[in-house]
A and B are shown apart, each in its own frame.
Chain A
Amino acid sequence: MKRGILLFVCMGLLQLSFGQKDLESKLKQIYWNNAGPEFRQMKAPAKWKNESAVILATRVDYLGTFAGVRKSFTENIVIHYRVLLQDKASVREYSELTFNQNKIKTNLIGKTNAYSFVAVKIVKPDGTEKIMDLSSAVKTDVGSEKDSKMAVPDLDQGDIIDFFIAIQSKETDVPNITESDLLEEKYPVVNKQIRFIVPRQINFSSKSFRGAPEFIKTKQGKNNIYTLIDTMRGRAPEVLWDFPHRTSAEVRYKISNGKTFVHQDEALVAREALQNFDYNNQDIRYIEDYVNQNAGESKSQDEVVKEIYYLLRSPIFQKAYFDIDQGSPLDNHYVSERFFFLLNKYLKKYNIEHEIMIVPSRNYGPFCDLVNMSSCDLLLKIGKDSGYYLSRPTPFSIPGEFPYLFEGMEAVLIGYPKSNTAARFNEEIPVSGKESNLTHSRYNLSFDSSDLSKILVKREVSAKGNNKAYHQYLIFTNHDYLREYDKPQYQNFSYSEIRNLVNEYSYLREKSEQQAVQENYERERRVEDDIESELDTKISEYKNLIITSVGMWEDMPDTKYSDEFVIDNGTKKAGKNFILEVGKFIEKQTELSDEQIQRDRDIHMGFARTFNSEVIIIIPEGFSVEGIDNLNINVSNIYGGFISSARVEQNKLLIKTSKYYTQNHCTSADWPHMVSFLNAAVQFSKSKILLKKL
């Protein structure tokens, strides 16, 4: 019996190796020997002669076929590239390849039913071709996405590397495929083709944006063929404040089984998804227990809901409902959709008016432009017009805050109780103004009387709205966070499961004290580095960090802290006088290069915002200040501005600046307006004053 099995295995291996050879030669025949003329191209257009590499041709082929009596669906995907390497940098890039070793799966009678295959050849400038033997590849290191790597032999500047990846897989049904493909790549592309060959029963729909060509439909037997050809596409540029999926050529497409009805409008898909909230069977006993123990009758519904939000944000309940480790609350955790189901369940049960929304993100655009909902997220609104939003909790989010990428987007919604909200289907998410996202920094500067190159700095920082997060993660530690939740209302619960988690929290809270020294040390280094980067100077003696409010509770929603440090070489000496680069104290500015000043793509930023600064300088005894006039600047327009003023009061020089952006988006035509105030801020940041010896 055992011998029989062994023989069967050996025969299987033989079949596999023969099968692989046949398949290899068949695929190479199709994709290399029978490839179209674009894959025989040897030269790049002259205008791209200085590019590092040029993609002479690239092609994605998708062939979907039903097998048997539609019992399964076979997908064949081939991705093919032909790249001309024009300099040593691109030769270096392609000289070491990583890939998954070729794999082939056969059924019991030896017929291939799935494979993954890679083939690479080098084409020399004289047209001679060398096919790489991938069997000499070596294993990649642990952690690599691919299993094999290989040094490409005999690769030179001027060579073409031509490779394809062919994958066949068998699915039980027609998979839903949706893609958003930017046509620009790292290198310019001479010819790009994306082609889908699918049975007529299968739905294919596509959308082309910003100059991208359309898919052309043709018929071949029982199949439809959808082909997109794009030619002479420049490489993807690096652009400041850019959402590439809103500014560069792109095709989005969707494939689905013709048997099932699929909405072409993602807003309808979203609306359908929201119906899931009608069948919500979440267990909210732990939440109810909390409310029963902590919310007396004096608390309004709003207050109760907000308390539930803080509860679900707490390390204890993050563990209870979302299985997030309590010990490191500031790590990048993801709170699942369950959050919305839990709240919805509670709100429905207690008849609290609310709406569940699905909101598309600004960086992929509105529903009408989407082919899937991967860029969308859920949002909850309590109450109606004057209500407030609840977003997926992050460590510092508070009721009323939501991700800035939702701003201005039209959401679809479902309201409860349905009788009150049946007429509403959509809502435009509000856009925050420049005053809502505000950072204020106050620098008090004084000089060491024995050494005027040394500046003693006391700093106060406050931030609100979307400007907060940067500071919150800068100044707060896991230890601080656990301490924030050390409150009586999070201690008493009726359920033993939660009591166990409270014990775990208490244990971790206590243990976190043990490493406060180290966390504080790391925080100080972090803040020091941040100051040195923002002020472009070295500092020393960082001390006295006082966090007045981290901004994670609604009653103290802003982040506020203060600290002190010394700038050792803060002034430039000129004879008996000193020059102070006072402009540095408005912190690092966006300084545009010549290339960035010319722009043909719209500007997409996170949010409107304001940065206010106050710099108070105690003028050292025996010195006067010169150069104040240069500190008064006012450049403003509808997109933003930079305004500064300076005056001397007694022995102090008082400087105030405000830089603000009024919009989160403007068109490329409006870019010069932005450039004007950005440059004004840069000009100020280079301002100097003279401390002149009297």
Chain B
Amino acid sequence: MDKHNSSELLNSDFSLSKNASSDSLDSDSKSSSLNSKHGQDSSHVLGDIQLLDGEKVMGVARDVTYLCPYSGPSRGVLKVTNYQLHFRPTEATALQTTLSVPLGVVSRIEKVGGASSKGENSYGIEVFCKDMRNLRFAHKQENHSRRGIFEKLQQLAFPLSHRLPLFAFSYSESFPEDGWHVYEPITELRRMGVNNDMWRITRINDKYEICDSYPSVWAVPAAANDDLLRSVAAFRSRGRIPVLAWIHPSSQATITRCSQPLVGVSGKRSREDERYIQLIMDANAQAHKLFIMDARPSANAIANKAKGGGYESEDAYQNAELVFLDIHNIHVMRESLRKLKELCFPQIDQTRWFSGIEASCWLKHIKCILAGAVRIVDKVENHKTSVLVHCSDGWDRTAQLTALAMLMLDPYYRTLRGFEVLIEKEWLSFGHKFQLRIGHGDERHSDADRSPVFVQWVDCVWQLQQQFPTAFEFTERLLITIVDHLYSCRFGTFLFNTERERVKEEVKSKTVSLWSYINSRQDLYLNPLYWGPSSFGATTPPSPYSRPQIVLVPVASLRIIKLWKALYCRWNPTMRQQDPIYQRTRELVALRAQLEAAAAAAAGEYAQRHHRMALTPPRVASPHHV
């Protein structure tokens, strides 16, 4: 019997461990399989083109050379579909230069060299991508060989500039779960205990008439009537009035979010706005104070007065304390990431690496955002005081701060589904302008509205994951997948600017949600080391310190904040993590599961035998106990 057992173990373990490793080999550090359907092995990405449902090949160019910055020039065939740019090398030995890039990541396309350019590979096209890389192709210098493919690329990469639909509207793959149901605003508010004595749900914005960039459902102080809400909307930039983002389950301290007040140079006041803020403060019985966290540097806030905006004066708002969090605007962040890209792609300059990181200021911005979120968490958690967060319009820095603070405060958002809810709620429903910031299908690559605000927030989440490796149910693979599909235009999730536009364009019925895709293969994204409330079970731990941590307080110091190489340097094959730790963990977990099963089976067999022989009563009857 012993022998029988062990050989069985051996066999099943072979398959188990294979799964574990093939799952994680392409995960954790590299790009997730952008174009593959889930379940397909990553090796399929190499070589032949894999068409998605609804994808069509629109153009082919033969005899093209891809100038790979790492493995050198490689000849092959370039194909363009309505979704991707695909390059297949002719040489079987050069398969690692296979490219499959969703056209959504293309930021601009340029012709390089002319028909009379001298030198090898000097004539061709260059594709600049939003995901930190550039692709160079060389064509033969005869018969305008690049013209056809260049025009196709222009047209398909920037469909909106050519009056064509985005690929998400053609994509038709179906998944077992519909990700559009992940977030239901009422359910989420109920989870937080709203309606309650102090907060009520209102549908005053059902037709998006009060505020066209807000969702249709809000939670506001119960004492505020609809007339008050309308008057407050008139005093807040773009009608974005303070509404509830999160409420503390025990202290009732809240995080609310809004846009700047329309104070202007003359220092206008609004009785209604002041009263409304007082109501938010009164909704929390624990404190007689409210913190207004203005995400901007104070100089920027003052400058905004000239444009009719500004900030709350502490004279007008009794018991409110105003704090500036010194986070810079979208233009500064765009420039910072551009510098970082120069540093990370294509080659890493050994002598300029650290000074370059400092000069880009990217990590300093990350530090500012983390520090701001920590201040919010400190007020809410430790001082039981409510916090109102805003910046200028309340859809960039505000979303970063509230979503990050909520992630630190509430373990629910650190689960896979909770994280999806968080993005749907704080980013999508509250109108972060994804279309403007990313520029889906739009050829105006130098548009000043573009900015990596959301990517920067994902980076902050990654920093949290790094600092608290067991606090998240998902791994960095989920974050990278989200960033990939932020650009890819394969799913409807990140299209358009506001909930109103998405409803108008019937996104939910005409496109697939990114969450459908992710939730269909959750196992790829789960953190085997997760140690949260759900993984812990019902038993009370012996001491509060061995309980999973509820509130995360990261250290906002550059000594701890790291550059996310797995995202920014991922195209460089030498920079990949050699042996992702999760792979080993998954192997251990698989081994444990298998031993558990074997033990259960053996116990069952043992019990049965005892039963048959009627020697002793079967004391280990049920395998569930094992």
Tell whether A pairs with B.
no
